[in-house]
Structure 1
Amino acid sequence: MSIGIIGAGALGSNVALLLAKNGISATIANSRGPESLAGLVEELGPSIKAGTVEAAASADIVVVALRWTDLEKALAGLPTWNGRIVIDGTNAVEFLDPDSPDAKDPNNPLAAYGIKAIDLGGKHSSEVFRKFVPGAHIVKAFNHLDVNVLGDPAASGAQRVLFYSGDDAGAKAEVRKLLEQTGYFPVDLGVLDVGGPLASLPFGALAAINFVRI
């Protein structure tokens, strides 16, 4: 299956690194165009190429690795998804300017981490995410670990755990296969309405916890 990555920031580039280390081909894209990614793809090697957002979005499996505040604009106007697999790697948080009043807000328990939670009106992030990719089979994954360790599934002689969840069994099977190919130990958290909130930052019970399989 072909793989596309939309977003080339910390998450997208580390997902691309993980794939490149395992010789898995992918197209990575950002809002600034393929030319802006020349240095990244040269560093990652021949299995990763830069493309347009439309090209990345046309893959069989598409990893959405965007900041929450960029989702609507970045995904608007893309071709219909028609049952293709979208891996939702997002979290409903806003990254704060360290010099802004929000970064010093004593009422924000996450200010010390440079983020604040985005109010989704009682919904979990994948529930809201659905509207940006109508017709896609969504699998939540790649969102609960520190992006700086994503490229290295081995830890202390053991295998890192990567959680995933989704509503379509076939889509989940394909994502599980991909996670296994990259060296992770995948753990299925069930349907999106259950697994999504459990593994989502900032308040998910399993978010940011680095489990390993010994």
Structure 2
Amino acid sequence: MRIGIIGAGNIGSTAARLFAGAGHEVVVANSRGPETLEGLVREIGANARAGTVEEAADFGEVVMEAIPFGRYGDLPAEGLSGKVFVTASNYYPERDGGIDLGGRAQSEFLARHLPGARVVKAFNTIYYARLAQNGRPEAPLEERETIFVSGDDGEAKEIVSRLVEEIGFAPVDAGTLAQSARQEPGSPIYNVPMSPAEAREALAGMS
């Protein structure tokens, strides 16, 4: 599969390594330009190359963003239309400034900004070091660490869930984009390592 990754910080670069290691083709982009990513893509190997944000969006069958939430306006809405779009960012007002979400979950807000994108909220509740180190592709799903997956497009969630499984984690369906508010900073499941059974129990207690 072709995967575009917008954002090459801790989560974006870690995801790029994992997806490329699982055999996918990856184009990584950041706000500073492809030339600043030469070391990263050389480290990742033949399955990765650097590109512009627009190139990453065009390239990917799946496109993942891992940028500061306040930079959402930099996402190329037209180029993301029709794409499975994974949002891994979190809104921190002290970093991102005041943003009126209109009472919506962060992923719903992004979906309104990206009409036509098949938005899935995932990879936002796991610390990058755990993402880098805790994948266990050889283990049964119920023995792996959870990555929560939310969205309104069932097929898009299935695609993202398969990617989660390929890199050694267990996807747990956390519901709709509206329900993805349960994945946001400050919630009981945010940045807490959980087995799938623990994750399902925690979600049940939040509904």
Q: What band does the TM-score fall into relative to the shorter chain?
A: 0.7 to 0.9
Tell me, in whole angstroms, the C-alpha distance in 2 between the residues paired with 1:79 and 1:54: 10
Tell me, in whole angstroms, the C-alpha distance in 1 between the residues paired with 2:75 and 2:97: 23
The Cα shift of 1:152 comes to 2.5
The Cα shift of 1:80 comes to 4.2
Which residue of 149, 153, 159 corresponds with 1:174? 159
Counterpart secondary structure, 2:155: helix
Is 1:92 matched with 2:91? yes
Contact 1:160 1:185 in 2 (8 A): yes
Match in the other structure for 1:190: 175
The Cα shift of 1:199 comes to 1.2
Contact 2:54 2:79 in 1 (8 A): no
The Cα shift of 1:176 comes to 1.0
Contact 1:5 1:12 in 2 (8 A): yes
The Cα shift of 1:116 comes to 8.9
Tell me, in whole angstroms, the C-alpha distance in 1 between the residues paired with 2:82 and 2:43: 33
Match in the other structure for 2:130: 149
More helix by share: 2
Tell me, in whole angstroms, the C-alpha distance in 2 between the residues paired with 1:161 and 1:136: 25
Contact 2:80 2:117 in 1 (8 A): yes
Structure whose CA Rg is larger: 1
Contact 1:92 1:117 in 2 (8 A): no
Match in the other structure for 1:4: 4
Match in the other structure for 1:43: 43
Contact 1:68 1:94 in 2 (8 A): no
Residue identity matched to 2:101: L
Tell me, in whole angstroms, the C-alpha distance in 2 between the residues paired with 1:119 and 1:148: 31
Aligned length, in residue pairs: 191
Cα RMSD for the two superposed structures? 2.3
Match in the other structure for 2:187: 204
Tell me, in whole angstroms, the C-alpha distance in 2 between the residues paired with 1:182 and 1:68: 25
Is 1:52 matched with 2:36? no
Contact 1:6 1:65 in 2 (8 A): yes
Q: Give unmatched runs, 5+ long, in structure 1.
A: 97-114
